[in-house]
Amino acid sequence: MTYQDLRHILRDFEKRGIAVCLNPEDQTGRIYVLASAANETLISGDQLNLCAQVGRAKTRLAVLEEVSRNRLSMQNPLTATEIKRQLRERYPLGLNHVTAALKYLREHRLVETAGHTETRNMKIYRITDLGITILDHVLDAEKQPSFGNSPTR
Protein backbone atom coordinates (compact mmCIF):
# COMPACT_ATOMS: atom_id res chain seq x y z
CA MET A 1 0.00 0.00 0.00
CA THR A 2 1.39 3.38 -0.92
CA TYR A 3 1.14 6.58 1.08
CA GLN A 4 -1.19 8.01 -1.56
CA ASP A 5 -3.50 4.97 -1.28
CA LEU A 6 -3.63 5.41 2.47
CA ARG A 7 -4.45 9.11 2.12
CA HIS A 8 -7.35 8.30 -0.23
CA ILE A 9 -8.67 5.61 2.10
CA LEU A 10 -8.56 7.93 5.11
CA ARG A 11 -10.33 10.69 3.16
CA ASP A 12 -13.00 8.19 2.12
CA PHE A 13 -13.38 7.05 5.73
CA GLU A 14 -13.84 10.70 6.74
CA LYS A 15 -16.56 11.25 4.13
CA ARG A 16 -18.38 8.13 5.31
CA GLY A 17 -18.10 9.15 8.97
CA ILE A 18 -15.89 6.21 9.93
CA ALA A 19 -12.80 8.25 10.85
CA VAL A 20 -12.14 11.77 12.10
CA CYS A 21 -8.99 13.84 11.61
CA LEU A 22 -8.02 15.42 14.94
CA ASN A 23 -5.71 18.04 13.41
CA PRO A 24 -7.00 18.82 9.88
CA GLU A 25 -5.21 22.20 9.73
CA ASP A 26 -1.78 20.51 9.76
CA GLN A 27 -0.17 19.77 6.42
CA THR A 28 1.83 16.84 7.80
CA GLY A 29 1.43 14.58 10.80
CA ARG A 30 -2.35 14.34 10.64
CA ILE A 31 -3.83 12.07 13.27
CA TYR A 32 -6.94 10.02 12.56
CA VAL A 33 -9.13 8.13 15.00
CA LEU A 34 -12.28 6.11 14.59
CA ALA A 35 -15.33 8.37 14.73
CA SER A 36 -16.64 6.43 17.73
CA ALA A 37 -13.42 7.24 19.64
CA ALA A 38 -13.16 10.92 18.63
CA ASN A 39 -14.99 12.15 21.72
CA GLU A 40 -12.85 9.99 24.00
CA THR A 41 -9.59 11.77 23.13
CA LEU A 42 -8.05 12.64 26.48
CA ILE A 43 -5.49 15.20 25.35
CA SER A 44 -5.89 18.75 24.09
CA GLY A 45 -5.22 19.94 20.56
CA ASP A 46 -1.93 21.54 21.64
CA GLN A 47 -0.80 18.30 23.25
CA LEU A 48 -1.85 16.42 20.14
CA ASN A 49 0.32 18.75 18.06
CA LEU A 50 3.26 18.13 20.40
CA CYS A 51 2.76 14.38 20.07
CA ALA A 52 2.90 14.68 16.30
CA GLN A 53 5.97 16.94 16.34
CA VAL A 54 7.89 14.79 18.82
CA GLY A 55 6.86 11.53 17.17
CA ARG A 56 8.01 12.69 13.72
CA ALA A 57 11.40 13.96 14.93
CA LYS A 58 13.52 10.95 15.88
CA THR A 59 16.17 13.09 17.57
CA ARG A 60 13.62 14.86 19.79
CA LEU A 61 12.00 11.56 20.66
CA ALA A 62 15.33 9.87 21.45
CA VAL A 63 16.42 12.79 23.66
CA LEU A 64 13.05 12.91 25.45
CA GLU A 65 13.21 9.15 26.07
CA GLU A 66 16.73 9.45 27.44
CA VAL A 67 15.75 12.30 29.77
CA SER A 68 12.80 10.25 30.99
CA ARG A 69 14.96 7.33 32.11
CA ASN A 70 15.28 7.08 35.87
CA ARG A 71 18.58 8.30 37.24
CA LEU A 72 19.53 6.55 40.45
CA SER A 73 22.41 8.82 41.35
CA MET A 74 23.74 12.22 40.38
CA GLN A 75 27.24 10.87 39.70
CA ASN A 76 26.54 11.39 36.00
CA PRO A 77 24.25 14.42 35.90
CA LEU A 78 21.99 14.44 32.87
CA THR A 79 23.66 17.18 30.84
CA ALA A 80 23.51 17.53 27.05
CA THR A 81 26.91 15.84 26.84
CA GLU A 82 25.75 12.93 29.00
CA ILE A 83 22.59 12.53 26.91
CA LYS A 84 24.74 12.41 23.76
CA ARG A 85 27.00 9.83 25.41
CA GLN A 86 24.04 7.66 26.46
CA LEU A 87 22.53 7.78 22.97
CA ARG A 88 25.82 7.10 21.18
CA GLU A 89 25.13 3.38 20.63
CA ARG A 90 21.57 3.70 19.35
CA TYR A 91 21.66 7.13 17.71
CA PRO A 92 25.05 8.54 16.71
CA LEU A 93 24.18 12.22 17.16
CA GLY A 94 26.34 15.27 17.41
CA LEU A 95 26.14 17.55 20.42
CA ASN A 96 24.51 20.27 18.28
CA HIS A 97 21.62 17.93 17.46
CA VAL A 98 21.14 17.06 21.11
CA THR A 99 21.22 20.70 22.24
CA ALA A 100 18.77 21.69 19.47
CA ALA A 101 16.40 18.93 20.58
CA LEU A 102 16.75 20.00 24.23
CA LYS A 103 16.05 23.61 23.27
CA TYR A 104 12.85 22.58 21.48
CA LEU A 105 11.80 20.34 24.38
CA ARG A 106 12.46 23.12 26.91
CA GLU A 107 10.57 25.72 24.86
CA HIS A 108 7.56 23.39 24.79
CA ARG A 109 7.90 22.57 28.50
CA LEU A 110 8.57 18.88 27.99
CA VAL A 111 11.87 19.05 29.89
CA GLU A 112 13.20 21.55 32.36
CA THR A 113 16.49 22.57 33.89
CA ALA A 114 16.97 20.81 37.23
CA GLY A 115 20.17 22.64 38.18
CA HIS A 116 23.76 23.05 37.05
CA THR A 117 26.91 21.00 37.46
CA GLU A 118 29.40 22.27 40.00
CA THR A 119 32.53 22.08 37.88
CA ARG A 120 31.52 23.50 34.51
CA ASN A 121 28.10 24.99 35.34
CA MET A 122 26.38 22.84 32.68
CA LYS A 123 22.58 22.53 32.73
CA ILE A 124 21.10 19.34 34.18
CA TYR A 125 17.81 18.26 32.61
CA ARG A 126 14.76 16.38 33.82
CA ILE A 127 11.43 15.54 32.25
CA THR A 128 8.26 17.42 33.21
CA ASP A 129 4.79 15.99 33.82
CA LEU A 130 3.74 17.26 30.38
CA GLY A 131 6.80 15.56 28.89
CA ILE A 132 5.81 12.25 30.49
CA THR A 133 2.27 12.61 29.12
CA ILE A 134 3.46 13.40 25.59
CA LEU A 135 6.07 10.62 25.64
CA ASP A 136 3.48 8.08 26.83
CA HIS A 137 1.08 9.06 24.04
CA VAL A 138 3.79 8.91 21.37
CA LEU A 139 5.05 5.53 22.54
CA ASP A 140 1.49 4.17 22.80
CA ALA A 141 0.79 5.34 19.25
CA GLU A 142 3.90 3.53 18.02
CA LYS A 143 2.69 0.28 19.57
CA GLN A 144 -0.61 0.43 17.64
CA PRO A 145 -0.75 -1.89 14.63
CA SER A 146 -0.17 -0.16 11.32
CA PHE A 147 -0.96 -1.06 7.73
CA GLY A 148 1.70 -2.21 5.31
CA ASN A 149 5.13 -3.58 5.95
CA SER A 150 6.89 -0.42 7.07
CA PRO A 151 7.78 -0.15 10.76
CA THR A 152 6.38 2.78 12.70
CA ARG A 153 9.83 3.73 13.87
Question: Is the predicted pLDDT of residue 13 greater than 60, yes or no?
Answer: yes
34-77 confidence digits (pLDDT tens): 777 655 555 666 787 788 788 888 899 999 999 988 654 455 67
Instruction: Tell whether domain 52-133 is in CATH 1.10.10.10.
Output: yes
Entry pTM: 0.69
113-139 confidence digits (pLDDT tens): 988 988 889 999 989 988 988 888 888
What are the boundaries of each domain within the chain?
1-41, 52-133
- The residues, ordered by sequence, that sit 6+ positions from 73 with a Cβ below 8 Å of its Cβ are none
